Amino acid sequence: MAFAALLSLMHILEQKIQQKYTFLNRPVKKQIASLLKKVISLQDFLEKCSQHSSETIESLENHIRDAAHLAEDIVESYIVDRLLPESASNRDKILIMFCSNLEKVNEEIGSLLKQVVKIVINVVLEDQQPRTWMPSKTALGWNRLIVGLDNDLMEIKNQLVSESSHLETVSVVGMGGMGKTTLAKKVYDDALIQYHFHIRAWVTVSQEYSVQEIILSLLDSIPKNTDKMHEKETHTMHEENTEGLKELLYKSLKGKRYLIVMDDVWDDKILDELQRPFPNDKNGSRIMLTTRLERVGLYYPKSRPHHMHFLNEDESCSLFCEKVFGENSFPPELETVGKNICRNCRGIPLSIVVIAGLLSKANRTHHEWEKIAESISSTITSNDEQCSGVLYLSYNNLPHHLKGCYLYMGIFPEDFDIPVSLLFKLWIAEGFVKSMGSKTIEDAAEEYLLHLVQRSLVMVSKESSRGKIKTCKLHDLLRNLCTNEARRGNFFHVSSHGTPLDVRRLRRTIIHQGKSIGIGHRVSIHPDKNFLPLVKRPSTPLPRSIIYFDWDLVTKFVYFRLLKVLYIHYNMLDLPKEIMELVNLRCIDARCAEGWYLASIDKLQNLQTIVLHSDDNSFQLPQQIWTMQQLRHVQFGSSITLPCPPKARVKGEISVIVLENLQTLSVLKNFRCTEAVLKRIPNLKKLGVRYSGPPEAPLDWGYYRLHNLARLHKLELLKIEFSMQSPSFLQNITFPTSLRKLTLKGCRLPWENMTIVGSLSNLQVLKLKYNAFKGPEWEPIEGEFDQLKYLLLERLDLKHWRAENIHFPKLRQLVIRWCSSLEMIPFGIGEILTLDSIGLLGCSPTVVTSAKEIKEEQLNMGNDSFRLRFDDQVRVLSLSLSLSLSLVWCQKK
């Protein structure tokens, strides 16, 4: 991973040249600038030879990677040594050693650059310019396509809704890459299945599983009233014992017809563990498994294994063409070679999808496709190796700037739904992403991900209300590729059960059970009761990133003195104060109850991201936060108080410190939108605010200056929560026209003031929660909400909603939750041509009836993809209403 190492080093060197540390004097910065030029030249070389592969180039890349890591360690170590107080007495010695080491690594990289020039002249001179292409938004739909599985879909649906009243199991069995999960998901989301079963729950099991986590996941999938008591009960049981969770799951399923899907089951022991929580009420409940192992599929007495079949040639070609051309057939000039490629994929859907992703970006010439066809023939062998050959071919054809980003996704556990917001923050902190012209670096990261999705190397799990990717994941085979390639290139190391650390090949050191063990430049620690890393001061270079998914955390981070990325997935009671000594830290994302030492936060001048998940405490940010110009995202689960910015004097004049990079602030408590504050955060994109009001009475809402929000010209997402009674504090608010998503809660505005929101020309998502607006009637005004695509109404006292299709001309999703007073959904909503779905939760029977009528209207308009989603309570109300109407009809008869 030489390119990723160079890119990270380039960001560090550029930053050091710009920083105004007094100990980075002109001669030092001159040396750094000289090194930076060589690094950029090496990057150009790697991009030129991205499509070439030879032992010479691979060996050279390894040397470049190691030299880049060494240079990064030298520069970052010097910064740490000069900033920490204990080094004050040795500063001259430290400077001399730093300059000497920097000169040596400069010479080493210069020597590598000379070797590069020879290779460019002799090998790569004839190479064509790298192709550029833009990802298409249609890439998001690729993972939803099913070709050749129609018969499988119908057969499994028939088994699930059969007349048998006994609890039965349907197993989908097949090798990796056959589309088992895709088929199961299609069945799970089918309208008939949703209607037939009262409860549906999905869990991914995988090779390494926790019974507690599986039961918790199933409980989370079951529709329920998510009040605080239930959350507390579940959390308590999780802490105490697994049996309590099993009992809670049993009670949740008892008396209901349910469908439980357990995806990717590798061990029949888990089926033993989960027999008791699944009640057999003889009401037609079903359990569905997907597995690679036939013995697992036959484990239950009444199981019905369904074996996945290989696609025939016609099905393979149809799937291939759908993904490459968007049509069902080849162009005449590519038909012969295209069919040959499909045959070599051996009917494995994953192989076809991945190679299609590669070829969709290749030149559509017979010569180009013939070269790829020859490569496929030489690498595909049998079983999973078929997929591996194709996957490696697609990976090797990735541009260099995407390879590091892609491999990095292997740090997450198997079947982990990766939040893309987290992924982007980690990529950026690691230095993997280049800014692209006027676009932000986050925009560039999003484009990187779209590239990977379009090549079918990444699966989209969820989309946001704005239609963007919210979470993504890797197929098992693709994740294996990432971890294997990362281990081979010393890019990162995953420590978990079954993956012993290799002392001989890896050069970083921690202490495991009293023994010195090597780890990579980055380490991801996955759950394993036998692995508790204890750290002492090592003499070898230190890891730069720790991604921690285990429950027990006993690492002393102070000894990882060059750490720049720290992600902790599970809750901690406290973060050690030594974190304030990690002056190179770029990103910290952790779940902790209390005790982060924010008073010293100004030491972390390199910090880009602070994400602390805590629901119980309020944090007071120190005034030094205004000096941290690298900050991009400040996000707390609980409220944070933002201090007034200081005024710095430069030569007698007042100088305003502007946080140009800051994009996220959430959740701020009682945020005062003064001009003095807003002009210091001009590029803010996301803002979350929670108002509880000043303690004095009467409340003076003018104190908060909410009319100044319009000064945030780049603000796209705004969330305002209000927890005290106020008649009209938002009536004079002025929202910025740049807003794309707005969430209001507890504002208690009259519906007449909705024009403040409706006039926002770029608004695409509107969420109105818990008395955001008050009053029984709402009639929108024509010409407003002309870009709105998603509308949520939750816990409002609205009774009469009068709307036509012209009021929401582009609406795609309507969600109504717990609006018990609402009498019906306006029939005009059913005439909106763009409407995709309606979701209901806790609504009245008349609302359910109007939603069903809207569904009929949409189907009559030819919108076969329209979906109407109910929760369990709504289904019961709907059935009760149907029964009542039937009784009335019978009485009339």
Q: What SS3 state is found at 788? A: coil
680 in the Ramachandran plot: left (φ > 0), alpha (ψ -120 to 50) or beta? alpha
Check residue 520 and give its pLDDT.
Answer: 56
Return d(Cα 662, Cα 406) in angstroms, integer. Answer: 26
Q: How, if at all, do strands 749-750 and 800-801 pair?
A: unpaired
Confidence label for 643 from pLDDT (cuts 50, 70 and 90)? confident
Closest by Cα among 110, 14, 79, 213 to 561: 79
| Per-residue pLDDT tens over the stretch 677-721 | 999 999 999 999 998 865 454 456 677 888 899 999 999 999 999
Residue 859 to residue 855: CA distance in whole angstroms: 6
Q: Which residues contact 361 (CB under 8 A, 6 or more apart)?
A: 131, 133, 454, 455
User: What is the predicted pLDDT for the residue at 134?
Assistant: 36
pLDDT averaged over every residue in the chain: 79
pLDDT in tens, 579-597: 888 888 999 998 776 656 6
pLDDT at 502 exceeding the cut of 50: no
Q: What is the 3-state secondary structure (H, E, C) of 76-145?
A: HHHHHHHHCHHHHHHHHHHHHHHHHHHHHHHHHHHHHHHHHHHHHHHHHCCCCCCCCCCCCHHHHHHHHC
Q: What is the pLDDT of residue 616?
A: 58
pLDDT score at 865? 82
Side chain identity, residue 684? L
User: Nearest to residue 74, comparing CAs of 521, 541, 428, 490?
Assistant: 541
For position 623, what pLDDT does the model report? 85
Mean pLDDT of 381-402: 69
- Residue range 111-135, pLDDT digits in tens: 888 887 777 666 544 444 443 333 3
pLDDT of res. 210:
83
What's the pLDDT band for 573 if we cut at 50, 70, 90?
A: low
Rounded Cα distance, 755 and 751, in Å: 8
Specify whether the CB–CB gap between 319 and 338 falls below 8 A.
no
Residue 829: pLDDT band (50, 70, 90) is very high
> Could you tell me if residue 790 is left (phi over 0), alpha (psi between -120 and 50 degrees) or otherwise beta?
beta
Q: Which residues contact 74 (CB under 8 A, 6 or more apart)?
A: 98, 101, 102, 105
Is pLDDT of 406 > 60? yes
Q: Which of 86-90, 134-138, 240-244, 409-413 has the lowest mean pLDDT?
A: 134-138
pLDDT tens digits along 510-567: 333 333 334 457 888 777 544 444 444 443 456 888 888 876 554 555 457 788 999 9
**Rg of the chain over all Cα atoms, to the nearest angstrom:** 29
What does the chain come to in residues?
A: 893
CA distance 810 to 789: 6
pLDDT, tens only, 785-821: 999 999 999 999 999 999 999 999 999 999 999 999 9
Instruction: Sketch out the chain's domains with CATH numbers.
Output: 2-124 (1.20.5), 158-307 (3.40.50.300), 311-398 (1.10.8), 399-490 (1.10.10.10), 808-893 (no CATH)
Q: Is there a contact between 375 and 358 (Cβ–Cβ < 8 Å)?
A: no
The residues facing 411 across adjacent strands are none
Q: Tell me if 805 sits within 8 A of 831, measured CB to CB.
A: yes
CA distances 47 to 227, 451, 457, 488, Å, are: 53, 17, 21, 21
3-state SS, one letter per residue, for 549-611? CCCCCCCCHHHCCCCCEEEEEEEEEECCHHHHHCCCCCEEEEEEEECCCHHHHHHCCCCCEEE
The pLDDT of residue 655 is 64
Three-class SS state of 481: helix
Q: How far apart are CA 683 and CA 186, in angstroms?
A: 41
| Digit-coded pLDDT (tens) for 198-233 | 999 999 887 777 888 889 888 888 876 444 434 545
Residue 286: pLDDT over 50: yes
